[in-house]
């Protein structure tokens, strides 16, 4: 199984850059996801990394190092609407039926203030 660790809460200023870290331990890594979840809403998909390196998508980038069991989500030019919970999820092999279901971390609550 997985052991996923991410900070509980972070604060940042509008217009700034913030990096949310995620570390994990898994028996057979098969991809890492980042999701955004606004209060009272369902999680929405942000990014997927399966190979080492940086994936950039607009203001959001996600980095993965498989050897270190480490990922981060980088948010640039922060906006007030980025205030949300950010969930790191890791998928590994070996689930029943090979279904590769991700396990979610507890999420990092990001507060963006003016």
Chain-centroid distance, C-alpha 98: 23
Q: Which of 47, 51, 41, 113 is nearest to 82 (CA)?
A: 113
Residue 18 C-beta: closest distance to other proteins, Å = 20
C-beta closer to other proteins: residue 14 or 41? 41
C-beta closer to other proteins: residue 53 or 114? 53
Whole-angstrom Cα distance, residue 58 to residue 93? 30
* Residue 71 bridge partners (DSSP): 22, 64
Residue 45 C-beta: closest distance to other proteins, Å = 5
Say if residue 7 is exposed, middle or buried (CB neighbours under 10 Å; 0-12, 13-18, 19+). Answer: middle
Residue 27 C-beta: closest distance to other proteins, Å = 16
Residue 16 C-beta: closest distance to other proteins, Å = 26
Write out the residues near other proteins by the rule CB under 8 A: 31, 33, 40-45, 48, 50, 87, 89, 96-97, 99, 101-107
C-beta closer to other proteins: residue 78 or 108? 108
Q: Kindly give, in sequence order, each residue whose CB lies less than 8 Å from that of residue 102, ignoring residues fewer than 6 positions away.
A: 31, 33, 89, 90, 91
C-beta closer to other proteins: residue 11 or 13? 11
């Amino acid at each position: 199984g997985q052991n996923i660790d991410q900070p509980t809460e972070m604060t940042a200023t509008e217009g700034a850059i913030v990096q949310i870290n995620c570390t994990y331990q898994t028996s057979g890594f098969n991809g890492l996801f980042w999701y955004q979840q606004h209060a009272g809403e369902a999680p929405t998909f942000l990014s997927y990394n399966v190979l080492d390196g940086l994936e950039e998508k607009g203001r959001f980038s996600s980095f993965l190092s498989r050897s270190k069991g480490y990922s981060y989500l980088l948010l640039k030019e922060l906006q007030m609407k980025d205030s949300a919970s950010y969930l790191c999820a890791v998928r590994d092999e070996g689930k029943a039926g090979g279904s590769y279901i991700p396990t979610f971390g507890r999420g990092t609550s990001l507060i963006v203030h003016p």
